Structure 1
Amino acid sequence: MIHPAEQLTLPNRAAAPPPARFPLVAGVAPLAAAGVIWAITGSAFSLVFAALGPVIAVASMVDARRTRRTGLRAEARAYAAAVEALRADVAARHETLRQSAWARSPAVGTILGGADDAGLWHRAHGPTVVLGSGEVDSGLRVNGPGDTAEERELRRWAATLSDAPLTVDPRGGIGIVGPLPLVRAFARGLLVQVCFAHPPDRCALPAEPGAGWEWTAVLPHAGAGPPAQTVVVTEGRVPTSPASGADPLVIALAETAGELPPGCATIVRVHGPLRAEIIASAAHARATRFRPELVSTEDAARFAASLREAAVAIGLVRHARPLPRSVALGELHGQGTASGGRGLEAVIGVGEDGEVSLDLVAAGPHAVVGGTTGSGKSELLVTWVAAMAARYSPEQVTFLLVDFKGGAAFGPLRALPHCVGLITDLDAAEAERALRSLTAELRYREEAIRSAGARDIAEIVPAAALPRLVIVVDEFATMLDAFPGLHARFVDIAARGRSLGVHLILCTQRPAGVVRDALLANCSLRVSLRVNNRADSIAVIGTDGAARLAQDQPGRCLVDAGAGIRPCQVATTLPGDISAIAELTPAGTPSRRPWLDPLPARVTLRDLRAAVAAERDAGREADREGYLLGLLDEPDRQRYRVARYLPERDGNLLVIGGAGSGKSSVLDALAANGSPGFERVEFVAPDVEAAWDALAKAHGELAAGGTGEARLLLLDDLDSLWARWEPEYQMKTAELLAGLLRDGRAYGLRLVIAVQRVAVLQGLSGLCQATLLLRMPSRLDHLAAGGDGALFDPSLAPGGGSWQGLRIQTPHPGPGARPLAAGTPTPSILDCAGTLLVVSAAPGRAAGMLRAAPGGRRTVVEISAPAPGRLARIEPGDAAPGTVFVGDAESWQAQWALMAALRAHAVIVFDGCSVGDFRMISRRRELPPALAPGRGHAWMLCPDGTLGRVSLPVAPRLE
């Protein structure tokens, strides 16, 4: 604008001359002269002059009028020329003013076209922005006396400057109303001007733009600070609060004026691409119409990129590029195979400076990753592992994965040949096993480095001799909540890991207070995705920046690798990417596993024999003899080992386990696998008669000085048998067992006894030198059996237990693996020749069975009285050879003479009698053989004193 004092003046119009009058004197004078001449001369010719007067008068009047019209035309031409000159002057002045105004406030088109690059951040643009082009006050004033319509129009035209920039001060806030596509295009034009006018160190935009404004992230102003001014673009009533305390420059967008936040000093309504109007403004009148400055997203994005390049060129910002909302692992260029070196550099995503790589060796040796649910923690870990696997072979790096969310996130990584273990949801026993395995791994590496004559893993040549091990733990806080003791072990690993090539990546939702200083001191590499509070962000990266990351941007993180905090968008890894990495990995020797899976739930003898062959190939043959007892877990040595039972060394074996724990299978397997040095292996089924006979037979053999051969006697479910024996048999069994367990070793006899509880047989465990403890129903039972409380696990599969302080899985023997001890056939009472004396608790029933038995041709005599007081005496001479005498114990007592006369050559059968009856009639003190209820067996005492069993005929069916 020019100074208002500058004035212009309209040209003066010439005054119009008076109209021409008739020349009366000139017309009368010739008449008077003609009369005088005629009077003097009397000549009539003189009267002709009298006619000249009127002619001259008329001619003079016509000439005067002509002259007046000519003057008027000349004056009009001069006035028009002066007005035109004035118009040209005003137009020239308008153009000068217009150019000066656009030069002070460049149009958006000029800025986007690059025609004003010299003015970028160097010209004093002032605190204004251009809304568009329209009419403004030019500051020119035209003075003059004229008041015609043309002159009034000239004055108005001179005072108005058209196609001029309409500028406003944006610091009071600008509200834009209209259809959102047009409103956003208008706001983009305003942002372009603000960022063009103000350098990044004076003006800043939010680092995380909202939806539809992603292009602003490219601007060098995005995230800059601390600025003098913060610009906030909002769609809605409440604008985003700036980080600093300064009032923000708000550009508010809405479809209606009622949706705008209060306090906007300038409000504009956009009607269309070519028409807009001012609703409120301190600088312009209400309803002022203008042509708005609209900018497309593509033009704005190109401008943002060029502006960043300009900022980089003059050193206002680092060379950077915007972070994408997502990126795929396959799109990264740094995924090629590593050409050399001893680091673990891997590209995990994209940052402002390009691709972001992390190196656990150079920036570690350990890393802490923080992030709340939904922030992309698991995706980051999968991408990091996959990126390392893509660059390094299994001979260079291996991975042990620990996931306390069930293993779903790490599941695809198991396809990588680098993966040496996946641990999910440990229980107490598995946690202890984990500690021992990790400690063993450190010992193994220390020994390997010492054997190589090196000080740390970096000096080992070739590098493949000892690959680096990366332990990745998801939900580290959850693991420590369940097992607090693990923290000390991880501190130990962190302290010793650098030289041993063991690296930790610990990920947790709640870093504050979980990863303690002793562990953090060795975790130099820090990565934080979005967290819920400032404390968690500060605990990981030292600032609260991670607490301000956008919720709708998973995978966005801040990385601190020792060179400052950098933003990064983590790449997404798909299962197909992992499969492709696995397929492209060169085949080689399977990686040594520092962590073995828990023992399998089922082991067979074939598995054990294969394991024996593997031990032989590995040169581990220290324990080559004995029975294959099971597969033993040795986490301290990071291996499985075949457990053996050597009777000569281990002595008697007690197998303890609850119902369904696999006790019988252990005995079956021992009987089936065989072992040199033991010629006889007898499996005694849990049968009352068979077990008694086996114990009695073994005791008799020992009493006779042994059999001269090594013998293994397997007794199954002994406590169940004990409960079915009568008290006298229980006492005798305890006596027999004690003698066999105590004295059998001298005669080559060893016992393997399976029981559910040892409390039934007091002192049994003290006479058994070895104990195999299988699954027990409760911890109390486990402890009562002498087990280690740390090894109690009610979820063990059948055959699972503990042996010599270690976890064991005993084999399933397979079908046909149970060789029963050969028993003595039980003769039938019908096969007994000669006289037969039957002492029966039910003599009538016994006599009836004998008479009705098939082939029963013998005489059956009942010696019992049919009623009290009617007992008939039978003389010995009355007994014909082969006669069967039947009576109860009382009757036989009454017929004692008959008993005394016949017993020397007759077989005595005790049917359903008690031990007392047996002793009373037989006059012998030993216990007769045990009888199984319901089997139809009876005691038989032969004339030579042999005591055994006899089977009775089946009672006839009643029709």
Structure 2
Amino acid sequence: MTRPATAPRADPLVLPAVPDLAPAEGAGGLVANALPMLGSMGSIALVASSAGSGGDPTRSYLAAGMFLLATLGFVVVQIDRQRSRRAAGISEARAGYQAELDDARHRVRAAAGTQREEALRRCPAPSALPTALTGGWPARGEHRARIGTHAEPLHLPLVAPPPRHSTDPALADAGARLVQAHRLVPDLPFALDLTGVRSLQVAGPPAAVRDLMRALVCSAAAECTPQQLAVGLLGTVETVPAWGWLTWLPHAHSATSADDAGPVRLVAATDDDRGLAPLADLLADEGPPALLVVDGAATSGLTAHLPDRVAVLEASAASRPLTGPDQVRITLDGTLGRVERLRTEPVEFAPDTCPTTVAEAVARRLLARYDDDAPASTGPTVDVLAQLNLASPAALDPAAAWRHREGADRLRVPLGVDDSGAAVHLDLKESAQGGMGPHGLVVGATGSGKSELLRTLVLGLAATHSPEQLSLVLVDFKGGATFAGLGDLPHCSAVITNLADELDLVERMDDALTGELVRRQELLRAAGHLSSVTEYEQRRLGGADLEPLPALLLVVDEFAELLTVRPAMVETFNAIGRLGRSLGLHLLLASQRLEEGRLRGLESHLSYRIGLRTFGAADSRAVLGVPDAHELPAVPGLGYLRADPTTLVRFTSAYVSGPVRTPEGTSAPPPGRTTLTPFTLTREGSHIVTRGVENPRPKGRSGAAPSLLETAVARMRGHGRPAHRIWLPPLQRSPALADLLAPVSTPDRGLHTPTSPDDALVVPIGVVDRPREQRRDTLTVDLRGANGHLAVVGGPRSGVSTALRTVLTGLALTHTPQRLRCYVLDLGGDLGGLAHLPHVSGVATRSEPDVARRVVAEVTALLERRERGADPRSDRVVVVVDGWGVLRTELTDLEEPLTDLAARGLRCGVHVLIGARRWADLRPQTRDLVGSTVELRLGDPLTSECDRRSAEKVPADAPGRGITHEGHHLLIARPSAPDGSDLAEAVAASWPGEPAPPLRLLPARVSLAEVRAQTPRSRGLLLGVDEQHLAPVELDPDRDGHLLVLGDSGAGKTNLLRTLAHEVARTRPDSARLVVIDPRRTLLGDLPQTQVLHHLSTAQRASAALTDLAGYLEARLPGPEVTPVELKRRSWWRGAEVYVLVDDHDLVAAGAHAPSPLAPLVPLLAHGRDVGLHVVVARRSAGAARALHDPLLQTVRDLGSPTLLLSGDPQEGPLAGAVRAERMPPGRARLVTRDGSGVVQLAWTDQPSEDEAPQVSATFADGQSARSSVSS
């Protein structure tokens, strides 16, 4: 409600500690004095006792009495001496303390005198105002008014020391009386704060009320210029003459209306014919704050119809109740006054008196100060905006305003005006060139006008300097409102805002500023090792071919919070402080607060300081060295400029965010017409009706009229050479691949990017962010030479699949399908769109393991042909594996072949592109083969192989973001055209030729006849077609004597036996016979009967037949009579070879106690080639791990015989070496031999129809006929 004339200037004065009162001797002293007396009593007793032994006792008694008197005298003297000493000590302590209190009293009185002098200087009494206005009285723009005097707390407060138990009460009381006596300073000016006040009523005797109202109006007018405060009067015909002196007051003159006598006076009477017309300035929505004095007129409802900027000062005979916090009531009662406001304590004061003669003298002094026709007594009032070329911003001509400035004019602009109206300039040049810079500091509390000051400085520099002389970097740690609208200036190298919400941008800004220091140093070095930018510009202006190197002003708002978030940023500011003079960098730091130690070494670099109103005296001292900035009123734009330790200039800054002014200096009214309706007030009140404004003026960004700043920026936009951009926005939107490759379309090649053959494998796939170097580089993948394999690693949703699509699409643009062939293992599910490319031969998904194996097999076969020199094509082959981790867990058999492809493929033009979620998914041997890598965002940054610290800063919600090995951030391009369309589809639609050879897949069913047609002269037993070469697979009985077949029911075991039987009949019609053990009789009638010796379906018959067969074959074992030649030719016996085909072995050998029917053949298995025995055993894969311990099966495995694994449960474990069964379609099997394993599609043999089925001979069960048949 009220504001003291001055603010506290010193810390509290703590009185010295009160001395302790010396303690009395007490009982201890009495005892100490009684001890000699007790000793004397002993002597007296001794003398008295010696008198009784004989002789004259008189002398003894006399001596004893003398002893007693001497003792008593000694005790009395000792006690008196101690008391005197204590009293002297207390007196001395009290005298010393009183002297200290006298010193404190002198200091307090001096402080009170200084406080009174300063208060009266700032708020003189009405009678002293005319004299004060004659001198250099400053118009501070403070909306306050002195209304009297009262007691205020001393600004050097006294603090009594805390009491103690042993404190001297007299001295403590003296100190307390001193504190109480000087706690308040009486009769100090009492100023009423008018900020936020809408209604001010003064009640009391009419003469005293008018006296106080005159004092209030005079004091308020003395504090403000007519542009800062308007004063009007609303009275009656009877009361207006009492305010005749008001017509001299320039604040009561209209700024928009005039008559023959000059400006219209803002004085109206309710019972006059003119009504409220003279108060048009006060009724308008726009204008300065105003004070409307109401004397005698009815005011019911008046406040509600007035603009918010108008406060009503009303004379009232009786007090009315207060209804809102914007109302103030002053009650006068004789020589005392009382100020009341809701929610605040009442304040009593002694009201001022201001006779009419004094008021008229004040008005005339103010008229002489501000009247255009009168001589100015305080110096000229400078139009700062005119000096900034902003008086008429709509007519601003950059070509004329941006003349080359040299000497004192360079980097020198007015900020505002001082108390005398003279311009206050800020010169950013260094002191050696006559300036105040190059670096400075601005501190101002919320609402102090700090942001407006920064805008004024930036806009003023931009309006007076060309982009070739000045560039700007504007940084706002919070929000961005400070520099809103300034980013369109051609001077702006960067506008960096909202750093508080995106802290990663702080480090980016640090890199950009450090890079600018390096860039400027390199330019000076390249220009001839020049020492400074000044020398550089002189050489450039002298005709040297050098690019402009303008001065760079870095403005950082809220730098204190910036340093809190990133303390290391102070090192960059220090570097700018050290190198700024020579490199042309100017640093201006701004903050709301400035704590001790916050600058951390920057103090020595900050030459000029600007202090606006601060939160506390400590902030003011930190920036200015004095607490004056804390004492500033709550008026935006008021501040102090300290350009050197001895100069402190108070100023009011210019305002550039308001509406554009007219040449007369007032805000331009809206085009159109405002009509004033005659208005009279009655006791019942009236309504003020305003009509709408026609033809509203153009709107600015906020919807209101364009501001001066917006108009000026619009005039400068697009003029001059744009400043060098030191700040690139962070990586956000991925570029289109078409923008990086710039493809063209031709009739013969379709959509492609012309490149040389050597550069075709260098593909741009994104951009690399280099904020320190102030540029963006193209991220390329170079698949030439040892870098031919690529690994893209990133966590989930990091863009790994998109990166692979981009790489493959880029290769498709630089190669034709005749020069590039691609195979894709899409185990992540995001590469399906690549199937449109004519370069893609095949795509295998996660649900198509057979196709994936076929891809690997085909590329492996192609590699082998090229190694042998048998492949006539020389095209590049690219194998893409997206989801290497899935490959290792679900397609384990493909990891080793693909690693082998990577190891052998580069010399034959085979490249492998890998996509993985983690680096750990790649085994070391695979990782060593990869020459090119791209690391995107990882699930765990600690696993980064590039830079762990940089990996932690990759945003989690930005697919395509990653880092390079140097720690720079990267962004993968989208595989699309600039319009967003898919680039792969565009390439496919424009390609006029044949696509790459498609992937040949292993057929789901192949007949035995088709297999035989491919190798009509084969002598082996054809099994089917292999996956790797899509060629027939045959079994050589001479090398692979036996065969083990494992698979689930329906997997194709019986068909395989049928096929082998027919193959035996085809290749050895006369030299082979079949023994078939078929418990389920599924082969009955399906075999060539001329070859069948036995078709056995029971264990008993099989046991008998095989025992007989074993005995016969044992006879073929070579004896000692066989010659080496016969052994070599195997000619010592004659007859047919025997093929034992066992179906459903699990049923044949199911007996737990009975021996297996096949047991007789076990000893002969190892000699099968010598005796002509071949065993083919088929059984279920379920339980095979346990059944393989059967003697027959164990022997077959020990002999290294081939194993066919049809579809089965992988949970059974390894069944053939380390190979597990897997789920496969019927007829599909994995053939495991000594040389490795491969997938085979078994040939299908049709069952003969019933008409064609041969008749089974009963002699097949006759052992004799069997023996003779084998012999033949």
Q: Specify the alignment match of 1:719 in structure 2.
A: 885
- With 595-604 and 912-921 compared, the bigger mean Cα shift is at 912-921
The partner residue of 1:680 within 816, 820, 823 is: 820
2:719 counterpart (582, 587, 597): 587
Shift of 1:831: 4.8
Q: Does the residue aligned with 1:629 lie in a helix, a strand or coil?
A: strand
Give 2:975's match in structure 1, choosing from 813, 836, 847: 813
Shift of 1:304: 2.5
Correspondences of 1:127-206 after superposition (within 5 Å): 178=203, 186-187=211-212, 189=214
Q: Aligned pair 1:767/2:926, yes or no? A: no
For 2:524, the aligned partner's letter is I
Residue from 648, 666, 671 that aligns with 1:564: 648
Compute the displacement of 1:679 (Å). Answer: 3.6
Match of 1:788 in 2: 948
686-695 vs 536-545, greater mean Cα deviation: 686-695
Match of 2:412 among 342, 345, 364: 345
Question: CA separation in 1, counterparts of 2:632 and 2:494?
Answer: 34
Counterpart in the other structure of 1:857? none
CA contact (8 A) 1:328 1:571 kept: no
Q: Which runs of 5 or more residues in structure 2 are unaligned?
A: 1-125, 136-147, 149-186, 193-200, 233-245, 252-290, 294-313, 321-327, 339-348, 430-434, 542-546, 659-700, 745-757, 828-844, 977-981, 989-995, 1013-1020, 1025-1044, 1057-1075, 1093-1140, 1150-1156, 1206-1215, 1245-1272
Q: Specify the code of the residue in structure 2 equivalent to 1:843.
A: S
CA contact (8 A) 2:368 2:376 kept: no
Alpha-carbon shift at residue 385 of structure 1 (Å): 1.7
1:509 aligns with 2:592: yes
Taking the TM superposition and a 5 Å limit, the aligned residue runs for 1:614-763 are 626-649=762-785, 650-674=787-811, 675=814, 679-685=819-825, 686=827, 687=845, 688-704=849-865, 706=867, 710-726=876-892, 729=893, 733-734=895-896, 736-763=897-924
Deviation per residue, 1:16-63 (Å, 9 max, x gap): xxxxxxxxxxxxxxxxxxxxxxxxxxxxxxxxxxxxxxxxxxxxxxxx
Listed as ranges, the matches of 1:871-890 within 5 Å are 877=1089, 890=1146
Match of 1:823 among 975, 996, 999: 999
Match of 1:400 in 2: 473
Q: Structure 2 CA distance, aligned partners of 1:181 and 1:584?
A: 58
What letter matches 1:587 in structure 2?
Answer: H
- In the alignment, residue 889 of structure 2 is paired with which amino acid? A
CA distance in 2: counterparts of 1:194 and 1:700, whole angstroms: 103
CA separation in 2, counterparts of 1:499 and 1:447?
Answer: 13
Helix, strand or coil at the partner of 1:414: coil
CA distances 1:866-888 after superposition (whole Å, capped 9, x unpaired): 77x999798653799xxxx9966
Partner AA of 1:505 in structure 2: L
State the shift of 1:593 in Å: 0.7
What residue number does 2:428 align with? 360
Match of 1:458 in 2: 534
Aligned-residue offset at 1:486: 0.6
- 1:444 to 2:734 alignment: no
Distance 1:174 1:822 in 2: 95
Q: For the residues of structure 1 that align with 2:767 and 2:492, how far apart are their CA atoms?
A: 24
Q: d(CA) in 2 for partners of 1:769 and 1:889?
A: 52
Q: 1:187 to 1:375 in 2, by over 3 A?
A: same
Q: Does 1:304 align with 2:366?
A: yes
Q: How does 1:79-158 map to 2 (within 5 A)?
A: none
Does the 8 Å CA contact 2:442/2:588 hold for their aligned counterparts? yes
2:939 to 777, 781, 785: 777
Distance 1:655 1:945 in 2: 31
C-alpha distance in structure 2 between counterparts of 1:441 and 1:716, whole Å: 41
Instruction: Deviation per CA, 1:621-640: give whole Å up to 9, x if none.
Output: x9997111311112232111
Q: Is the 2:761–2:784 Cα contact (8 Å) retained in structure 1?
A: no
Aligned equivalents of 1:186, 1:345: Cα separation in 2: 49
1:541 is aligned to 2:673: no
**Cα distance 1:186–1:584, how it changes in 2: closer, same or farther (>3 A)?**
same
- 1:474 alignment partner, one of 554, 557, 568: 557
- Provide the C-alpha distance between the structure 2 equivalents of 1:598 and 1:827, rounded to a whole number of angstroms: 52
What is the distance in 1 between the residues matched to 2:504 and 2:510? 10
Deviation per CA, 1:54-80: give whole Å up to 9, x if none.
xxxxxxxxxxxxxxxxxxxxxxxxxxx
Query: Helix, strand or coil for the counterpart of 2:919?
Result: coil
Distance, in Å, in 2 between the alignment partners of 1:172 and 1:377 is 30
| CA distance in 2 between partners of 1:303 and 1:910 (Å) | 123
Cα deviation 1:390-412 (Å, max 9, x = unaligned): 22232222222222213343332
Supply the distance in 2 between the matched residues of 1:180 and 1:209 (Cα, whole angstroms).
33
Q: Root-mean-square deviation (CA), in Å?
A: 6.2
* Distance across 1 between alignment mates of 2:903 and 2:573: 49
Gap change, CA 1:684 and 1:350, over 3 Å in 2 = same
1:767/1:261 CA distance change after superposition, 3 Å = same
Q: Is contact 1:469-1:503 (8 Å) kept? A: yes
TM-score by length of 1: 0.60
For residue 637 of structure 1, give the secondary structure of its aligned residue in structure 2: coil
Q: Partner of 1:293 in structure 2?
A: 356
C-alpha distance in 1 between matches for 2:581 and 2:414:
21
Q: Post-superposition shift, 1:809?
A: 0.9
Q: Distance in 2 between matches of 1:924 and 1:174?
A: 107
Query: What are the Cα deviations for residues 71-124 of structure 1, in whole angstroms up to 9, with x where unaligned?
Result: xxxxxxxxxxxxxxxxxxxxxxxxxxxxxxxxxxxxxxxx99x9x999989xxx
| Greater C-alpha Rg | 1
Can you list the C-alpha shifts for 1:302-326, whole angstroms capped at 9, x where unaligned?
A: 533536999x9999x77679999xx
- Aligned partner of 2:171 in structure 1 is none
* Partner residue in 2 for 1:495: 578
Residue of structure 1 equivalent to 2:1257 = none
Amino acid across the alignment from 1:627: V
Q: Report the Cα offset of residue 456 of structure 1.
A: 2.1
Paired letter, 1:802: I
SS at match of 2:555: strand
Contact residue 394 and residue 711 of structure 2 kept, 8 A: no
- DSSP-derived class of the 2:487 partner: helix
Inter-partner Cα distance in structure 1 for 2:632 and 2:562: 26
Q: Secondary structure at the match of 1:407?
A: coil
Q: Figure out how many residues of one structure are paired with residues of the other and give that number.
A: 705
* Matching residue's letter, 1:606: A
* CA separation of 1:548 and 1:892: change in aligned 2, threshold 3 A: farther
Query: What is the aligned-residue identity percentage?
Result: 26
Q: Which amino acid aligns with 1:762?
A: R
What amino acid maps onto 1:581 in structure 2?
A: A
CA contact (8 A) 1:626 1:644 kept: yes
Sort the Cα spacing of 1:911 and 1:936 in 2 relative to 1 into closer, same or farther, 3 A.
farther
Q: Is the 8 A contact 1:186 1:292 kept in 2?
A: yes
- Report the CA distance shift for 1:452/1:567 in structure 2 as closer, same or farther (over 3 A): same
Partners of 1:532 and 1:845 lie apart in 2 by: 87
Deviation of residue 823 (structure 1)? Answer: 2.4
2:437–2:607 contact (8 Å) kept in structure 1: yes
Q: Structure 1 residues 719, 470: CA separation in 2 closer, same or farther (over 3 Å shift)?
A: same
Residue 807 of structure 1 and its aligned partner are, at CA, apart by 1.2
**Counterpart selection for 2:730 from 598, 605, 608:** 598
- In structure 2, how many angstroms separate the alpha carbons of the residues matched to 1:119 and 1:438? 51
One-letter code of the match for 1:293?
T
Q: How does 1:386-425 map to 2 (within 5 A)?
A: 386-425=459-498
Decide which of 586, 592, 606 is 1:523's aligned counterpart: 606
Q: For residues 557 and 180 of structure 1, do their structure 2 counterparts lie closer, same or farther at Cα, with a shift above 3 Å needed?
A: farther
CA–CA separation in structure 2 for the residues paired with 1:529 and 1:502: 24
- In structure 2, the residue matched to 1:800 is 961
- How far is the alpha carbon of 1:482 from its aligned partner? 1.0
Shift of the alpha carbon at 1:485? 0.5
Query: Using the alignment, how far apart are the partners of 1:637 and 1:624 within structure 2?
Result: 28
Q: Deviations over 1:595-635 (max 9, x none)?
A: 211124212112223699xxxxxxxxx99971113111122
Give distance in 1, aligned partners of 2:134 and 2:448: 39
Q: Is the CA contact 1:402–1:423 (under 8 Å) kept in the aligned structure 2?
A: yes
